[in-house]
Amino acid sequence: MTMTDTIESDNDVIAWEPGEYTIERSRLRRLMARMRVPRLADLYPVVAEDPERYWQHVLADLDLMWHRPFDRVWDLSRGKAWPRWFPGAGFNYVTSALERYARGTDRDRIAVIWEGDDESIRRLTFGELDALTNRFANALQSLGVNKGDRVGIFLPMLPETVAVTLACGKLGATYVPLFSGYGDEAIVSRLDDCDASVLITADGFERRGKRVPMKDVADRALARLPGVAKCLVIQRLDGSCDWNPDRDTWWHDLEPTAAPEFDALSTAADDPYMILYTSGTTGRPKGSVHIHAGFPIKAAHDLAYCFDVQDDDTLFWLTDLGWMMGPWLIAGGLTLGATIVLLEGTPDHPGPDRLWKMVERHRVTTLGLAPTAIRALMPHGEAIVEATDRSSLRALGSTGETWNPDPWWWFFEVVGEGRCPIINYSGGTETSGGIVSGFTISPMKPCSFAGPVPGMVADVVDEAGEPIRSGVGELVLREPWVGMTNGLWRDPVRYEETYWSRFHFFFIDWEYSEIYTDGYWYIRGRSDDTLKVAGKRIGPAEVESAAVA
């Protein structure tokens, strides 16, 4: 069995095609009409010929709020690896993601829906989220956080988690998201690397009904981080944890006196807003630097044009803040005016029907997850899924790993009732989102991608860097794009060696990929996570396909 064999039986099957309503509703269709491009296939050469012009159309269509307007998308005088983004422009993404809704007619519309591990529910309107964000911004400022400072965020998915990320943006500070399941070593390596001065954490949280002592982990890390002078603690549980009065501050002690007003600072478009560390699958963790006019715009772009998310949508992506999909959900979903849904716990607690009940309770329109979640939930059967009302669903999303056919079909036919497209979406920490994707206006084949995300001049090349079709090669990008990492934190040499040295001025994503003659794309797994046996490459998807066969 080769990688191609894992889906050979399905690669000629059109599983889904868009209907008239889906096409008419599509934001991507409207963008193409603005550009006078009749078909998606015609968009790719237009983008490749003049990618900067494409992004100018996108920014007009997204109608973002700029403090100072831009004249150019980029200045490439330092080369494609080091664009200068929106020279002279002023942009703070929180103005577009929150303030324009909270301070207008949308202030009473729901921005965030949260479910705790115990199925408790909280909802915040845009106005309430803005007030909470402003209180956090004022509180952080009182702790000494200023523009350019790095702030670690080690929290479960809470409404406060959304607010503190936005508060850092308002202040012009740079936040560092940390996976809620990290041990102290992972926290130390990241916060030491970026010279963080403040950590925001919680006393703990619940996972499958059991207490997770988050503050204890933070304390062990902070004992090795003398540069982190302050720790702001949100009480999620009963407040029982060790305490350092010189360093630690309870959020509930600051909240009553923190003013609910704060205007986002006028940051430069290329000011950093987040350092997103990789998982370390290709060596020690790398700190991807993301700017205000980068990651948030790319997230909004992909949600708008791949998933067709609009301001009447309710978007639920099963994620943690420490995975790039957490910041992506927050920045992208809110920028589009959508309602975002957070889950603190796990998809199988208190029962394996948790996700499907959440879809029913909150009328979720777009549900996203990793294929692993479907593989874990499939053995519980179809009946518990079919017992819930999923009629609100319009699109399904998946990312994080490759599909194998059986789970893909189960997600499509059982969860999506055969009427919702699975928007297969693949990119990375360094890309701020997708390189290849499905689209709500494109026919869908199992486990496939319809093509590159618009704006991404992607290709598949062989070991010599030459384009390859109907064969497995490396996924690369030939041109810069809005959302591209602005280097690695204080490590320009490593950035160039990792992403730009193998092929001449190609951004290399280390993904084995394939383009079929019918135009569909497939990801076969990471090229650094693949075995070659008897001349044939074997990746994780093949192992998983064998395991569930």
Q: pLDDT, tens digit, for every residue of 223-263?
A: 999 999 999 999 999 999 999 999 999 999 999 999 999 99
CB 195 within 8 A of CB 150: yes
**Nearest partner of 4 among 473, 398, 339, judged by Cα:** 473
Would you call 465 exposed, middle or buried from its count of C-beta atoms within 10 A (0-12, 13-18, 19+)? middle
Residue-level pLDDT at 302: 98
Find the helix or strand (DSSP H, E) in which 497 lies.
Answer: helix 492-499
State the pTM of this model.
0.94
State residue 503's pLDDT score: 82
Please check the confidence at residue 541 and state whether its pLDDT lies above 50: no
Per the document, the length of the chain is 549
Predicted confidence at residue 243, as pLDDT, reads: 98
For 299-314, b/e burial (b = at least 16 CB within 10 A) is bbbbbbbbbbbeeebb
What is the C-alpha to C-alpha distance for residues 53 and 416, in angstroms, rounded to an integer?
A: 37
- In three-state secondary structure terms, 33 is helix
| Residue-wise pLDDT tens digits, 352-385 | 999 999 999 999 999 999 999 999 999 999 999 9
Which two tokens mark 475? 């996924």
In sequence order, what are the residues at sequence separation of 6 or more whose Cβ sits closer than 8 angstroms to the Cβ of residue 180? 154, 155, 156, 157, 205, 212, 214, 320, 321, 322
CA 106 to CA 501: how far, in whole Å? 47
Per-residue model confidence (pLDDT) at position 279: 66
**Mean per-residue pLDDT over the chain, rounded:** 93
- Taking alpha carbons only, the member of 331, 285, 275 closest to residue 152 is 275
| pLDDT(291) > 60 | yes
Residue 320: half-sphere exposure toward Cβ, Cα within 13 Å: 18
Q: Which two tokens stand for residue 92?
A: 């703070």
> What sign has the CA pseudo-torsion 180, 184, 188, 190?
negative
Please name the helix (run of DSSP H) or strand (run of DSSP E) that holds residue 84, with its range, or none.
Answer: strand 84-85
Q: Which of 170-174, 216-220, 483-487, 535-539 has the lowest mean pLDDT?
A: 535-539
Distance CA 165, CA 175 (A): 7
Q: Which helix (H) or strand (E) holds 53?
A: helix 51-62
Q: Are 411 and 374 in contact, with CB atoms under 8 Å apart?
A: yes
Do residues 522 and 7 make contact, with C-beta atoms less than 8 angstroms apart? yes
Model pLDDT, residue 19: 97
Domains and CATH numbers, the chain: 4-92+268-548 (3.40.50.12780), 98-257 (3.40.50.980)
Q: Is 465 left (phi over 0), alpha (psi -120 to 50) or beta?
A: left
| Biggest alpha carbon–alpha carbon distance for the chain | 68
